[in-house]
A and B are shown apart, each in its own frame.
Chain A
Amino acid sequence: MTRTASDRIAELLEVFAQRSLARLRAEFTEEVVALHDADPLWILEDGANRVLRILRSQPIQGKHLIYATGPDGPWCLARVTHGAPGNLVVHPDAYGDYEDAMRAVFHERKSEYLETNAVRELPLRKGSGS
């Protein structure tokens, strides 16, 4: 099968992604969790922000959004799913504060990246027009 530029870019990004994942494992400490739980919108520590940037920069497909169900909430977690109605699949668990929803997103990611038995690889960035 002929390799394309997309394949090569994906390979290069995967090399970087593995380095990021290794760093994420090392720096995703309980202190970072505590900082985010304390105030997800006001984190000033460099190390914690590096962890957050890695999590926040992942490919959009499958990524979390927060869905506001009304003018004062509640707020639900949702995943970008191109092809679903609204390109979004909303989960029923609701939060009374959008910052709590942000905390929940963070903990879901923590679970996905660090707490599964086999730590999943960061997804390949081989996006395409859908």
Chain B
Amino acid sequence: MSAPTSANQKVYGYTDRLSARPGEQLTLHVSCEEAESYAATVVQLRHGFDGSAGPGFQETVVPTAVDGIYPGKHYECRPGSFVEVSDSAGLLRDPAGFEVRAAIFPTLPRDDRSGTLGAYRISHSSVAFHGEHQTVLGTWDAATSTGWALTLDDGRPMFVWSEAGQPRTVQLDTALTAHHWYELVLKVPTEGGKVALTCTPLKHAMDLVAPAAARLSPESAAARTEGAWTASEMPFRIGALAALTDSRLVATSAFNGKIGGIRLHRRIEDGLETVARWHFGRSERPDRLLLSAVVDESPNRLDGHCVNGPVRGVTGPTFEGRVEDFRDAPDEYDAIHFHDDDIADADWPVALTFDVPEDLASGVYAFRLTAEGRDHHVPFFVGPGVRARDVAVLFPTGSYLAYANDRIAFEADSMEMLLGHTPIVHSEDLDLQDHPEFGRSCYEIHNDGSGVIFSTARRPLITMQPRYRASFMSEGPWGLPADLCIAHWLEEVDCEFDAITDETLDLEGYDLISRYRVIITGSHPEYMTRGELDALAQFTAAGGRLMYLGGNGFYATTSFDPENRHIVEVRRADGGTRPHQSPFAERRHTTSGESAGLWRNKGKAPERLVGVGMSAQGFDRCTYYQRLEDSFDARAAFIFEDIGAEELLGDFGIIGGGAAGSEIDFYNPSLGTPPDTLVVATSGPLSDTYLLVAEELYEQLPGLGGTEQPSVRSDVVYASLDGGGGFFSVGSIAWTGSLSHNGYDNNIARLTTNVLRRFRDDEPLK
């Protein structure tokens, strides 16, 4: 007998950003699922993992003005990216006399995606796709049958307009083929007459034979109109239409694919006048970044703005194949890639505003929302206040966002093979499956098969629930819950700390961390910006001490949108470990200008900063560490105080049963590890599910697993630098899961505390 399962979470929320300082404000946005009310309170998150093998879930209520019962209301979260045009003069309200030209590159004209995609061989989308109606541009309001739009309807180009309040259409017979450029030309008479729609396959410099190979041919259709247009009240949008939902205009009939080269003219007595010429490759910023603003080059300045994070910096119909940076040839990047499952902001109304008290200690907090007996936490970080502390924890919010709402276990054929075990899912995963509208992680692919490159804090973040366990771990914590193991250990050793985040370090740079003696990383600081790497390097060079208590750190190029800092961008290059890959010439971050890829492939290998770099990943079982000769060096004596010479280190823990594992780093002096770095311990045996990372391979060779490949290991290193600073690196995500073992009476906690004690001492490291 089988039974369907649904977890029925009743309340969800998010904040406008993940971090605020004392004296600043955070806004909380809440939606309820059939619950008439919810309770809200602020809690300090102290420990997340709730299994009996650890200290258990621990939170402390912080009395604030937030405490109370609030009315529950449901708000829709509607994905689908688009450009909305400001048309205060109403120039686009009716199509009389319009000649519209638009190049389109549909990527999912119909529901016909097939095959396996990306590194994990994703074969199914757990996000339902309803692509029968896709919008190129227009104002059509389906609820009132008013306005007009150029669309794909079941894959076939169509013009729909309202004539005397009734819908009229003209549509081509042939559905478009995915991944080809076409030009749509729509000609509308000024009064009564013939409406003509033409679709012409475009030749493209990158594949001149493509139209012929796909047997694409031009097609036209026409229909009569009386010219009795009925305008809609909806805004003009490109890539989606507007629909009214709970007093907000959300996206509907969203497009999958690229749209570009749009020219809109109106027929006048002696020819055509330009109404709008949106140039999607043009930026008016001095740095030429392509953010939300969309430029209309016509005299009418019908400028627009992107909503829900469509992908810019993509090649357009005139791309010639020689440049790789959108800033070098804007005309060749006159296109935007829209997705029906894009989400950058759920755009729920503000439920309450929280004034972070001036005396609230820096740390990890959450709004705890409770409805019908179930809690939902909305975590946030309170940054440093006026009170000076000597230790800060750098919470890797870039990683939290990149992994946010990951659904891979339900979509990928090869997930189980990657893990070496059947994924273990939890009620939160089922919530996520029931709410595809909460958007995807940067490990997934969109419905149309392209990789997800943006993530946002402005949506419910299910994977940031403090008790959450990722399906790929053997019931251990991951992400924020794993980093709460660090917070709880610091509480245990009576070390107050400030909580800083990737986003704030990227924004403020070295100034944010210059006053600290010790910076402790999270367990998985994978997604880092250039500004962060530079700030941390400056920190250790100036006498600061960096404790890297994780693995896979300082790994992939990441950018925060300078105008919308709740959005993070992670494009994927064509080398190294990656879940998917951005197309050629679309690997430049539009929010920073950075080229995509691993920092090690861009001359900033993590080995330079922390001595180690990624070697392997595996998710079956973790292992212990054994001491090496350097551990007996006098310079390292403080690390091993009260630890026996023959002791195995960390042969226990709530992450895979050992301190070494999950994603691991190794000592690799060829990539810049400082020469006097001591290698004090290395991992025990690992299975063959641990495979050498792709970036270490230039050609495939047999024997890449942990039982054969000597580089598949985790190394613990320590280095002192000129100036009295230095680093201690464990190179393992699993390390933090061993801290609490046996009530913190264990050699991993002892060793880590030894390092912390010495690093807090102002005597220069040796």
What residues make up the interface of A, taking CB atoms closer than 8 Å to B? 5-6, 9, 40-44, 49, 52-53, 56-61, 63-68, 71-72, 75, 78-80, 82, 84-92, 98, 101-102, 105, 125-130
Q: Which residue among A44, A78, A88 has the maximum number of chain B CB atoms within 10 Å of its CB?
A: A88
CA A72 to CA B111, docked complex, whole Å: 41
Is B114 within 8 A of A68, CB to CB?
no
Q: How large is the interface on B (under 10, 10 to 19, 20 to 34, 35 or more residues)?
A: 35 or more
CA A43 to CA B116, docked complex, whole Å: 28
CA A43 to CA B620, docked complex, whole Å: 10
Is B467 within 8 A of A129, CB to CB?
no
- Min CB–CB distance B226 → chain A (angstroms): 40
Is B474 within 8 A of A89, CB to CB?
no
CA A44 to CA B706, docked complex, whole Å: 10
Is B116 within 8 A of A125, CB to CB?
yes
* B6 proximity list for chain A (CB < 8 A): 85-86
* A79 proximity list for chain B (CB < 8 A): 2
B594 interface residue per 8 A CB criterion: no
Given A125-B413, A130-B125, 13 additional A-B pairs, CB 8 A: A61-B123, A61-B124, A63-B416, A66-B424, A68-B424, A68-B469, A72-B52, A85-B4, A85-B6, A86-B5, A88-B5, A126-B114, A129-B125
* B50 proximity list for chain A (CB < 8 A): 71
Residue of B with least CB distance to A42: B621
Among B5, B411, B433, which residue has its beta carbon within 8 angstroms of that of A60?
Answer: B411
CA A68 to CA B285, docked complex, whole Å: 50
* B420 proximity list for chain A (CB < 8 A): 41, 52, 56
Q: Which residue among A60, A78, A82, A127 has the maximum number of chain B CB atoms within 10 Å of its CB?
A: A60
Is A92 within 8 A of B3, CB to CB?
yes
B41 interface residue per 8 A CB criterion: no
A-B contact pairs, 15 of them (CB 8 A): A41-B420, A41-B474, A41-B620, A56-B414, A57-B121, A63-B413, A65-B423, A66-B425, A67-B426, A68-B424, A68-B475, A71-B467, A85-B430, A89-B2, A130-B128
Known A-B contacts A98-B475, A125-B123, A129-B125; the reply to A56 vs B433 at CB < 8 A is no
Residue of A with least CB distance to B426: A68
CA A40 to CA B421, docked complex, whole Å: 8
CA A128 to CA B131, docked complex, whole Å: 13
Q: Which residue among A102, A129, A130 has the maximum number of chain B CB atoms within 10 Å of its CB?
A: A129
B300 interface residue per 8 A CB criterion: no
CA A60 to CA B117, docked complex, whole Å: 13
Is A91 within 8 A of B123, CB to CB?
no
* B430 proximity list for chain A (CB < 8 A): 85-88
CA A130 to CA B114, docked complex, whole Å: 10
B422 interface residue per 8 A CB criterion: yes
Residue of A with least CB distance to B415: A60
Is A57 within 8 A of B414, CB to CB?
yes
* A6 proximity list for chain B (CB < 8 A): 112, 114-115
B152 interface residue per 8 A CB criterion: no
* A105 proximity list for chain B (CB < 8 A): 422
Is B112 within 8 A of A78, CB to CB?
no
Query: Which 7 residue pairs of A and B lie closest in terms of their CB atoms, listed nearest first?
Result: A127-B123, A86-B430, A85-B6, A6-B114, A129-B113, A56-B416, A71-B50
- Which residues B603-653 have CB closer than 8 A to chain A? 620-621
B755 interface residue per 8 A CB criterion: no
Residue of A with least CB distance to B419: A56
* A102 proximity list for chain B (CB < 8 A): 421-422
Q: Which residue among A84, A98, A127 has the maximum number of chain B CB atoms within 10 Å of its CB?
A: A127
Residue of A with least CB distance to B112: A128
CA A101 to CA B324, docked complex, whole Å: 49
Residue of B with least CB distance to A93: B1
Is B114 within 8 A of A41, CB to CB?
no
* B415 proximity list for chain A (CB < 8 A): 60
